[in-house]
Amino acid sequence: MWSNASVRQPSLEALVAQLSTAGFVAAREEAAELLAAAGDDAERLAFMVRRRLTGEPLAWITGQTVFCGIAVQVDAGVYVPRWQSEPLARRAVDLLPPGGVGVDLCTGSGAIARTMAWHRPDARVVASDADPRAVACARANGVEAYLGDLFAPLPAALAGRVDVVAGVPPYVPTPALPLLPRDTLAHEAKLAYDGGPDGCDILRRALAGAPRFLRPGGAIVLELGGDQAAALAGDLAGHGYVDITVLADEEGDARGLEATFAGGPPEAAGMRDH
């Protein structure tokens, strides 16, 4: 009892001022979230604020974020879903018919899979991630998540039956990792960002692996950046994709690609996998 009395709950305005002074641009929103998450517990709030001042992601501290209007649990250590990925998630929903099958590669907290399942409750949505913390978090969000590399851990029975493969894989070129915002790699895992020398390593392997699972006419939507869509043109053609669209944001910057799997004999798709 005495310990609680020793810490006074700051007002919203005092907390906004503290976060603003420390350079947080969304200080008011963050202060409100921290106050709500701490409830009446002043000591808990003080601890949460101290963590935030180190640059630790807000979602790890409050334990959740909102993605596509849906609350998502985000455990410490798991990539925090970004609003920039919401258009890709919505596109994946559009491409997933009721009762269909969707895959979310590199699912992290499971935010994209959860969005697909939320809007298509009759569909089967499966997901994978190479990080056990992410898989546990995705499962806590109700996602059928599997631990392992890309398609490797997914149920083999889904081969040739998938309507849409979605993914936000790591796609930052290794040489550009030091250019990420200061707090990013101080807290978040390199595994979530590092896409190899040109950023396309995982994207290429996703394009190569998807034909085994996609039905003919099924689609793949992947987040990427810069000129990576052009760099992947040969992979797209070589693995039998058609109707390739580069998805751009409001500034006209490439943010993703969408392609349709034209189909082909399963053995050919299997060969493409290697």
Ligand X SMILES: C[S@@+](CC[C@H](N)C(=O)[O-])C[C@H]1O[C@@H](n2cnc3c(N)ncnc32)[C@H](O)[C@@H]1O
Q: Please, which residue, 129 or 163, has the CB nearer to ligand X?
A: 129
| 54's tokens | 């180190």
Cβ neighbours of 76 (radius 10 Å): 14
Tell me: does residue 109 bind ligand X (CB under 6 A). yes
Looking at beta carbons, which residue is closest to ligand X?
108
Is residue 75 at the binding interface for ligand X, with CB under 6 A as the rule? no
DSSP three-state, residue 88: helix
Alpha helices in 148-240 (DSSP H): 182-187, 201-213, 228-231, 233-238
Q: Is 170 in the site for ligand X (CB under 6 A)?
A: yes
208 binds ligand X (CB under 6 A): no
Instruction: Determine if 201 is a binding residue for ligand X (CB under 6 A).
Output: no
Output 134 or 229, the one with its CB closest to ligand X: 134
CB of 108 to ligand X, least distance (A): 3
Cβ-contact 206, 256 below 8 angstroms: no
Strand duo 124-129 + 144-147: pairing: parallel
Q: Using the rule CB under 6 A, which residue among 202, 203, 214, 224 binds ligand X?
A: 202
Q: Where are the beta strands (DSSP E) in 10-83?
A: 64-67, 70-73
- C-alpha angle 166/224/191, rounded to 5°? 80
**Footprint of ligand X on 126-155 (CB under 6 A):** 128-131, 134, 149-150
List residues near ligand X by CB under 6 A. 79, 81, 85, 106-109, 111-112, 128-131, 134, 149-150, 168-170, 191-192, 202
